[in-house]
Amino acid sequence: MFTMPKVMDYMVSPYPIRIIDPKVESSRLKLKAIRIGQAGHLPGRTLFRSDVFFEQWAVVYIVSGNGSYTENGGKVQQVDEGSLFFFRPGHSYSYGPPPGGSWDEYYINFSGTRVSEWLESGLIVGGIVFQSDATQELLSTFEEVLKRMDGGIPVDADRAVVLLEGMLLECSVIIKKNSRSSQVDLMPELRADLNSCVYGELDVQQIAAKHHISMSTLRRQVRHSSGYPLYEYIHRLKMAEAKHLLLNSSLQVKEISGMLHYSDSFYFSRLFKKYMGISPQLCRSNV
């Protein structure tokens, strides 16, 4: 009968824990776009960690117990039985059960070129705790991934990647359902920040970081709300302001272009005609 090794670490949990490190060289894998790193099961976890950074993405599932999760010192989010959340590289996290409490945790670390596609497709989302009621299905998948990774057989390591992607695909339905309300609540603040970029320097990465969301989430929310891709939405904001200035001031086209941070006035004029249906000069002369 196959059994995975268990170890004791009383700093983490009073119960035996399982931590599986990769046992197959990457050169022996057929599926190279995703590499599963460490995976584990921490029953009865009592350890709370503060301001921790990770080098890889990780998906974490809480089977039972409760606690909290915070990304980049932002909002403290409640974690309960059935909670699912992600860690992403380069961000800090404080997470774990409360003093005197515990939770039962499964996790899988992963990296690779396919991560960007998963992120763009909404299979993974950072900074938000999601709630799932598919406890048995997720539990079975995590256990199967641990089993495959522990065997040291290349084809099983590849199968573990397939299992992970399938699980994340199912989780994306949970993510989408859980995200709808947060999208509605967040959009007024996102609009205000994007509006402030009409005259200021545009830094959409900073806007995403401010709201503890990824760039792909920012793009999805803007498209969902406005119907336009992120940068087209920003161009349209700027062109609407340009039209206001053309009709209500004596500023020259080149001056307006510079004020709106278009260094090339000819490029500005092409964008204006594209989105307003008329050149800046004709817009002013048609008053």
Phi and psi of 159, rounded to 5°?
Answer: -65, -35
Neighbours of 187 (CB within 10 A): 16
Q: What angle do CA 10, 50, 125 make, to 5 degrees?
A: 110
The predicted pLDDT at position 184 comes to 47
Run of H or E including 111: strand 103-111
User: For residues 134 and 154, what is the distance between their CA atoms, to the nearest angstrom?
Assistant: 29
Segment 130-170, tens digit of pLDDT: 888 777 889 999 999 999 999 999 999 999 999 999 999 98
The predicted pLDDT at position 1 comes to 44
Which domains are seen in the chain, by residue range? 18-179 (2.60.120.280), 231-285 (1.10.10)
User: For residues 280 and 284, what is the distance between their CA atoms, to the nearest angstrom?
Assistant: 6
- Mean pLDDT to the nearest integer, 101-105: 98
Q: Which of 46, 4, 43, 33 is nearest to 21 (CA)?
A: 4
Can you give the pTM of this predicted structure?
Answer: 0.66
Radius of gyration of the chain, Cα coordinates, nearest whole angstrom: 24
Task: Find the range with the poorest average confidence among 32-41, 204-213, 252-261.
Answer: 204-213
Segment 162-195, tens digit of pLDDT: 999 999 998 887 777 665 545 445 788 888 889 8
